[in-house]
Structures are given as C-alpha cells and as structure tokens.
Homo-oligomer: A and B are copies of this chain.
Amino acid sequence: MAGKRLKFWGWGYDGEGATEAERAAIKRFYGEMFALEAFPEDVPRVEDYALGKPRVKPPKSLAAICAADPHTRLAHALGKSFPDAVRVFDRKIPHVPDVVAFPRSEKQVAAVMDWAAAAKAALIPFGGGSSVVGGVEPAVDSKYKAAITLSTTALDKVVEIDKTSRAARIQGGIRTPAMEEALGKAGLTLRHFPQSFQMATLGGMIATRSGGHFATLYTHIDDFVESVRMVTPSGVMESRRLPGSGAGPSPDRLAIGSEGALGVITEAWMRLQDKPRFRAGAPVAFADFLNAAEAVRALAQSGLNPSNCRLVDANECRANGVNDGSAHLLVLAFESAHYDVAPKMARALEIVRDHGGTVDASVSAEAVSAWRNAFIRMPYFREVITPWAVINDTFETAITWDRFPAFHAAIMAATESAIEAATGWRGLVTCRFTHVYPDGPAPYYSFHAKGERKALIKQWWQIKKAASDAVIANGGTITHHHAVGRDHMKWYERQRPKLFGAALAAAKSVLDPAGVMNPGVIVR
C-alpha cells in the first residue's frame, strides 16, 4: 500500500526493468541461438485485463487494510514463473484475488482469517510474491466462494536485536533489503541472499525453505531459524527461543516449508552472522564436468565449508558471458568475520588441483562479479524475452553423489529431447551447483528454447513435465529450494512418504480446520 508500487506485469516495482545494455546482450544471445529476428516490445496496462467484480467485500473493521483496485488485484494474481509471465502477456490471468488484505498486526491477520472462513473464501498468503511454482496464485477449486490474498508486507519491522546471542526478532513481512539494512546498523547480517533477494520477505523465505548465500553448511534458511511465531486459523503457534533442543520432534520444522498452508509466519527469531572481514576466492577451470563434480565432492567432504562453491557448466558460463564456453568454472570462496581464511583456501586449491582444476587467470574478478550481478538481475529479463517467444526456465534438485553422474545424464537427455519434441528446435540446457553437501550436490538446471508465441505454456509444460518426471524417476527431489507450490504438487506427492502426507493433512486439520489456508498447496 505504502512506498513504491509493485509492478504487476514483471519483476520489482513500477518503473524498473532491464537496462538498455542488458536488453542488447539478451537480444544478441537469443538472436544468435534461435535465429530470432523479431523482438517485439509489449507493455501491458491494467486496462488490458478483464477482471470480474470482487465476490466478497471486507467487513468494515478490515476495510482500511484491504484493497480491491485492479492494479493491486493484478499485482497479487501470479508469481514470477515463466507461465506466469506468458499469461501476463497473453492478457489472460485466470485467477485474480477478489480482495488483497494488508494486515498491520497479528490481530488483523487473525481477523482476516476469520473473515475468510466466514465468507467461505480461500486465503492466500503473499510475501515477496516471487514464487516460481504457483505458490501464490489463487487457483482454488470452485468450492471456495472467493479468494482473498493476505499480503504480509505491512508486518515489516526488525522488532528486537539480541547482540549477545547474535539473534533478532523480525516480522515475517519485511523484505530482505530492509531487514539487512536494519540488522547492518547493529553490525549483523542474516547473510541469506536468494535470487529473489530484492522482493523476498522473511516469512516467505521460511515458509518455502529458501536457499541462500552459503553454498555449504548453512544452505537453507532452516538452520537460521531460532524460533517461529505462526498465526493459524486455530490460534498462535510459537516455539521457544532455543539454541538447540531435543524435546520431541521440532515444532519449527512443521512451520518451515509449510508454504502458507498451515498459517502465516508473522515473526521469527533468526540467528545472525557477523559481517565478514576476511575473504579469499578464485575461479577454477575444469575441462571435464564430471571431474569438476568430483572436485566439488572432495571439497564438500573436506570439512573446509567454503562459503561459495558454485560449479557452473561451460554452456552456462558462455550464456552469462563469464567465459567463451571452453571450460566449466568453479567459483570458490571463503569468508569469515573472525579468522584468516587463507589456509583454508590454500588447502582447497590443493584439492581442486588434485582433480584437474586450474585457477583460471583469464577469468577476471569482474567477470565473476558480472555473473553474480546478472544472477540478481535475471528476474528482470523474463519480461523482456517472453514476448520474443523464448522459453526460459530453471528447475533445481538434489541428489546423492553416487547417483549424480547417471542422474545428470538422464536429466540433461530428458530435458533436451523434451525441448525438441515440444518445439521442433534444439534448445540449450545448462547446469550449475547452487549448494553442495557432503553427501551430494544440489544441481540447478536452466533451459532455453525457441517457442511459438501462441503455444508457449503448452510447450513449456511439456518440457517441465518431462524434466520433473526424470527428476523423480532418478531419485532426486522435486525442489531443493524453489518450493512446491501448485506446480510441483503432483511430483511432491510421488516423492513424499504417503503416511507423512496423511500426517501433514491431519496436522492441517487441527491448525486450519476450515481449510482456508492456501488450498492446493502441500496438502490437498
């Protein structure tokens, strides 16, 4: 409501977007790859969309925190996935919330839940809105008389900082940049930077088990959660602030990953870091991707715990202008606030050299930094390329090391052939490791395909389906950190132990007896 206005048809806020230089680079890349000639511009306007009238009206007591204007409704109708972008440019947004509520207190959160239940409406929690898996789309079945979206973004404060324990009590709707700014004043940082950094909210990151800055050790936000406070339709569930506990199954782990299906995370005590003062890093080139993966395995099992250990395959390096595509690149770095990391870096370089890696002097620090910058800017590019009928998406997973080589081959083959089958053209599939563990990597795949403007969603879905089937059939997880949402439910249900699904459904029936919370996600 306050501050900058969300851009309803793309990433970020009104007035933001790709720069001219970025557009030119993207044009060059896809122009060459797919022999594109037309690069249409398309700037959607609110008036382009036929919205039904809101089917519910907030009670008087909530009117001041609710909005039902077309812009607000459109800005909360979709996440930021590829099919979301296509539907924006198609001017066909199938599900639009009737009303968007911006509660400013837990009491108001509870009141919105009560209203939704009374109105037989579905309630969709909405934080950063950066879901790429249909997590915030009010696509609910017809038994719901309406869909109300609950934006958490007015719960935007760092409430309390405990410098002694290096922890802070933070409201769930604060966006990461504002949170980091407030923590930074105390010399602290959460140091958890997903690609959605600019828009992401703390509660959204916890609810979706977001993956962050650290490539090893503290990969998911899970480990930074000291305690959680979640408002559910049945009341408040709050865990005790504890550095560790062995008292029964962890209550926090029920809230973490619940994706809005059990309640709204209104507050959490988060474990923080000191800002790093010592750094060491180097780009390491490999001729062979599986050798590089072996080097990463050795690093992941060494206990050195590099902060960065991103292996980027040659095609992805080329696509991002890091090198000419002649080598796979490992971006390796250590950081610490408390000790010199040079000895660790030296030992890590011994390990990578043992596996055929060479420090690549031809890759400048600028190129690596450009890649990091491109990574954060990438969400802006989707609105540029979608009108060009380029299909571009990513999916990510995790797999144990013993199965990685066969898994990787299967995923690459399945995705490549699905692209050809769906579009009639060869596409490009690339891979990087975003996070690595002693027992396996989290590979992240990007694909690029030449689509047909009128068939984009169908083509995309054909590719997505083949890739997801391959991930599940070959033993991976349907998501390492993008979450389940509505798009992944089918595969999530194949992966999840059946009895655990039944236990979760039983837990939901206690916390959300009327089933208003984000229906269709996690539990259906």
Contact = CB atoms under 8 A, between A and B. Distances in A.
Interface of A: 162, 164-167, 208-211, 217, 219-220, 226, 232, 234-251, 253-259, 271, 274, 297, 301-304, 336-340, 343-344, 347, 351, 398-402, 435, 437-442, 475-484, 488, 492, 495-500, 502-507, 509-511, 522
A304 to B, nearest CB: 6
The 8 closest A-B CB pairs, nearest first, are A243-B440, A243-B437, A209-B246, A506-B506, A253-B253, A503-B507, A251-B500, A237-B499
A166 B255 CA distance: 30
Given A166-B439, A439-B167, A510-B502, A246 B257 contact: yes
Given A164-B402, A242-B399, 12 more contacts: A164-B401, A166-B439, A243-B400, A243-B437, A246-B477, A246-B480, A246-B483, A247-B483, A248-B496, A250-B257, A251-B496, A254-B503
How many copies the complex holds: the figure is 2
Contact of A239 (B234, B258, B497): B497
A482 to B, nearest CB: 7
Contact of A401 (B165, B497, B502): B165
A167 B274 CA distance: 33
A511 B238 CA distance: 25
Interface centre among A255, A303, A511 (most CB of B within 10 A): A303
Contacts of A481: 246
15 contacts: A237-B499, A237-B500, A240-B477, A242-B440, A243-B401, A243-B439, A243-B440, A244-B440, A245-B480, A246-B481, A247-B257, A247-B484, A247-B495, A248-B484, A506-B509
Contacts of A211: 246
Contacts of A240: 475, 477, 495
Contact of A245 (B246, B339, B477): B477
Contact of A438 (B242, B271, B503): B271
B244 A480 contact: yes
Contacts of A274: 301
A483 to B, nearest CB: 6
A431 B304 CA distance: 32
Contacts of A498: 235, 237
Contacts of A239: 497, 500
Contacts of A340: 343, 347
A503 B263 CA distance: 13
Contacts of A302: 338-339
A240 B493 CA distance: 12
Given A237-B500, A499-B237, A510-B506, A257 B251 contact: no
A455 to B, nearest CB: 29
A263 B6 CA distance: 48
B402 A162 contact: yes
B257 A248 contact: yes
A109 to B, nearest CB: 15
Contacts of A165: 400-402, 438-440
Contacts of A479: 245-247
Nearest to A300: B243
A452 to B, nearest CB: 32
A164 to B, nearest CB: 4
Contact of A244 (B249, B253, B398, B504): B398
A2 to B, nearest CB: 31
B439 A398 contact: no
Contacts of A209: 245-246
A146 to B, nearest CB: 26
Contacts of A208: 246
Given A302-B339, A304-B338, A510-B502, A247 B166 contact: no
Nearest to A258: B249
B497 A251 contact: yes
A243 B441 contact: yes
Given A251-B497, A439-B166, A244 B219 contact: yes
Contacts of A510: 499, 502-503, 505-506
A480 to B, nearest CB: 5
A504 B437 contact: no
A116 to B, nearest CB: 18
Contacts of A507: 503-504, 506-507
